Structures are given as C-alpha cells and as structure tokens.
Amino acid sequence: MNIPQLAREAMSQGLLFRTWGNLSKRDKDDKNNFLITPSGMGYEDMEEKDLVRVFEDGSYEGNIKPSSESPMHLALYRRFPDINVIIHTHQPYGSALSLLKRDIPLTESEAEKLGSDSIKISGYALPGTKKLHNNVDQLASLSGCKAILLEMHGVIIMGEDEESALENALLVEGACKRYFEEIGAHALSFNEDVSEITRNDNVATMPRNIFDKRPDINAIIRMTSQDVNKHTAMKPYLDDFAQIVGIRANSSCKYNVVFGDSEVFCLGKDMEDATAVRHIFEKNVLAQAVAKVSGHKPIHVLEAILMNQVYKRKYSKLKDMKKD
C-alpha cells in the first residue's frame, strides 16, 4: 500500500473526505525528508508522483505546494524516528471527542498498539498556523502515543508503515466512539429518509424557497429528524463547519445548513458540495453532543467568520483551476 492508496482506503472507511486532511511518508532515500500530499488535490485520482518532497529545513521540491500542515509532519518525524507514516484525519468521533477537555482512556490492548494508556488533546489553534503546529509538537514531547486529537479540528495518527497507520486510525475511531457512549453524550438522531434534490426538480415549498433565496445553490440533501424544528440553531464546534457551513445553522437560508420542522437541508453548489456539507454537519452534531457534556464553547464568531471567508476564497480558486 502506498500513500494515495492509503488515502483512498481511509476515505472508504470514513476517516478522510474530499481533499481534507493530509498524509505523508518518510523519504526512503533520505530519512530526514518526507513526501506529503499536495494542497487542494483530491485523493481519488492521486498518484505517488503527485506527492511533494519536503526537506529537513522545511523547503520543498518543485512548483506544487505541499499541504499547509507539512511543518506539523516535519516536527513529528523529528521527534519520533521510528514513525514512517503520518495521517491527519477529520474522522467523526475522533474530531468530536477533541472537545472533551480530558484525555481519552484506552483499553489495555489499545494502549499496547498506540503506545500509551490514553490519547491527549492538543490545544486549539487556527488551521495551518504555526501555533497549531507548535501545540502538537509540545504535546508530542509529553506523550508517546501514536495519536493526538486536535481540539475542534481533527486527529493526527502515526504508524511504522501505511498499514499500521490505517489500523491505528480505525483503532482511535473505535475508542472514541466507545468513550462517546460512556460519557453519556446524546446527539441529534436522524431518520433513514434522505433525499437528494436539484434546482430543476419539482419540489415542495421549503426546498423551493431555498433555491429562490440562494441562486448559488443547485443541490440540496434533505434529512428528517424529530429532534429539530424551525427554531433549532447550531453553532460551529469544529472548524470545518465554520469554513463550509458558516457561523451558524438555523432556519434562515443564509447558511449552508437550514433547519425546518422535522427537516434539515444541506446546501451545495452541486450534489458533491451538498454531500460534503451533510458530512460536516453530522460531525458537528457529534461535537455539539460532547460539548454539552464537557461545557466546551463553540468557535468564536470572529474566528468562524475568518475561516469561512478564507475557505471561500481558496475553494473558489481551486474550482476555477479545475475548470481550466
């Protein structure tokens, strides 16, 4: 298994989605360097030749920009000489448990595989920033665990090779799901009734109102739940929710998740975008449930606005590049 194959397998297991997250592997020709997934490239068609070589001093080879989280990978490779593969995932339960404010306990068998009896949580910082990278490096110096939760963000997984990294990622997700249940977190529940709606469909009043108010939206995923109504509101507890959904979700059509009576509408420019919004919304539902247990506050509104604006500019640029 190589890194692109690992990425696709992680996607099939629900650990990665679209271009989010990043993966890297030590350079077999020079252990001080590593190869990492490029910024903004989808995993579906990625090949080994697309990986970017990052050198010991942080510089990189070629004209393709490496992931913005490459300094974090570099710091971890320096600290753990036996680690050869790193995955930064946005896996659902691992991301949600990052709001818990305490270590995640592991069973004896999990601890044996991950190298510690608990998983620690690195303090919050904006994605791609030096503060985030420093937080991870400092925490890694205190823990020998092959996993670190990134507060309100995602998970870092380490392994000796691609197979062990994937195994560790799945192990962490299972441990976090188990602990989610043990702490008594209760998330909104949804019915199996899910429908995909496009602008050209002959649809009921609510989806049509959304299309009328949002000319940028061409696709909607409709979910049903007895736990929501038009007065329901949700704030961002994970940074990708702030980036892609907005500073909140409510019954207005201003943001990319809209609540109705026993309905939730996930909005996108196309069905791929709407599916991404649904995926992020469902993760934020889990994170909100954990926050109710831990007392964790949502992302500050100013930071949420900043992340949303930066993402819109970056995403639009990538879309234009794909069209060219």
Which entry of 9, 44, 47, 69 is annotated as an active-site residue? Answer: 69
- Residue 181: active-site member: no
* Token pair 């249940």: residue: 181
Other CB atoms within a 10 A radius of the CB of residue 190 amount to 18
φ and ψ of 198, to 5 deg: -115, 165
- 132-158 in b/e burial notation, b at 16+ Cβ within 10 A? bbbbbbebbeebebbbbbbbbbbbbbb
| Calpha distance 306→311 (Å, rounded) | 9
Q: Which residues pair with 120 in a beta bridge?
A: 148
| Calpha distance 37→110 (Å, rounded) | 28
> In sequence order, which residues have a C-beta less than 8 Å from that of residue 207 and are 6 or more positions away?
197, 201, 220, 222, 265
| Calpha distance 35→82 (Å, rounded) | 16
| Calpha distance 292→194 (Å, rounded) | 27
SS3 of 241, please? helix
Q: Where are the beta strands (DSSP E) in the chain?
A: 22-27, 30-36, 52-54, 85-89, 104-105, 118-122, 147-150, 154-159, 194-198, 219-224, 257-260, 263-268
Tell me the catalytic residues.
69
